[in-house]
Structure 1
Amino acid sequence: MKLIPEFVFRSSRLLCLLLLALVFPVQAELPPFVYEQMKRDASDVVVVQILQAPKAGNAEQGKRQRIVYEAKVLRVTRSKSRLKAGDAIVIQSHYYRFGPGEVGPSNPRRLKKNDIVLAYLGKGNKAGEFRIAAGGH
């Protein structure tokens, strides 16, 4: 004697799978307040002009590609590194190509030569080197 009819059991399994499918993509991206906190915590906030940018290559799926930009500081909003307008800096960024079914935080925008952008930066390993501080935003 069956206590639970077969269709109820199948329906509940289908409902669970549907809920999982809806929840996973929502949890993969970081919430906006996290990016805002990263921006507030950035040691340097500057407007830069990209002087040299690598050509967009084909990153392998599941691999992080390192991207290095050469830039000129146009305006300084905040700087713990004592940056000033006219300084030449190197900015390290990255790009991750997601494979099928993979999800995660947004990639930073790919920049081109002569782009002028507001950059939230953290100090890099060497003098004049910086890394992006606010992920994909």
Structure 2
Amino acid sequence: MKYLFTLLIFISSLVAELPPQVYDKMKAISPEILKVLVLHVNKHGENVDAYAKVIKVQRSVSEFKAGDEISIRYIIPNRLIGWVGPSSAVLLHKDEEYTAFLKCVHRECSLAAKGKSFSKSPYQGQIKDVPQTEF
């Protein structure tokens, strides 16, 4: 019995999430902070393709405006026992509104804050300057 208890404690410690402050930093430097209305969602295995309309812009490096339509592509991986790393993003639902933290090229967007890239509530955190990247 003692060994079983030790084994259960060991196994439960194998799954680890990133600390909240890591997600807070990702959100704070996200190039796009948008309130979106989801128009359509397709899920194929782990891949998710969503189409959304921008309702409100909190920050947009891509200069999105309310009324613009964007696509959001991301993966919801099948996690195995013992995985370590960022959480998985939620599956978006048609006709629901989200605050989205995104990185976009043209109108094609991906997640800027890993599994915490979508929220049902408005963003209340500090917004920091977006780091400049060199190409």
* Global fold match (TM > 0.5): yes
Interval containing the TM-score (normalised by the shorter chain): 0.7 to 0.9
Query: What do the CA deviations read for 1:9-38 (whole angstroms, capped 9, x no partner)?
Result: xx8x9998676445423xx21111111111
1:103 is the counterpart of 2:93: no
Please list, as runs of the form range in 1=range in 2, the aligned pairs for 1:33-72 lying within 5 A after superposition: 33-55=21-43, 59=45, 65-72=46-53
Q: Which has the higher helix share?
A: 1
The alignment status of 1:75 with 2:56, answered yes or no, reads: yes
Aligned length in residues: 114
- Is the strand fraction higher in 1 or 2? 2
Aligned counterparts of 2:8 and 2:47: Cα–Cα separation in 1: 36
**Structure with bigger gyration radius:** 1
Q: Which runs of 5+ in 2 are unaligned?
A: 117-135
The ranges of structure 1 where at least 4 consecutive aligned residues each deviate by more than 6 angstroms after the TM superposition are 13-16
Calculate the aligned-residue CA RMSD, in Å: 2.2
Q: How does the TM-score come out when normalised to structure 2? A: 0.73
1:131 pairs with 2:119: no
Unaligned runs of 5+ in 1: 1-10, 60-64
Cα shift readout 1:57-113 (whole Å, capped 9, x = no counterpart): 5x4xxxxx22111110000001111000000111112100123x2423211010111
TM-score with structure 1 length normalisation? 0.72
Which stretch of structure 1 is more off in the superposition, 69-78 or 104-113?
Answer: 104-113
Letter in 2 for 1:103: W
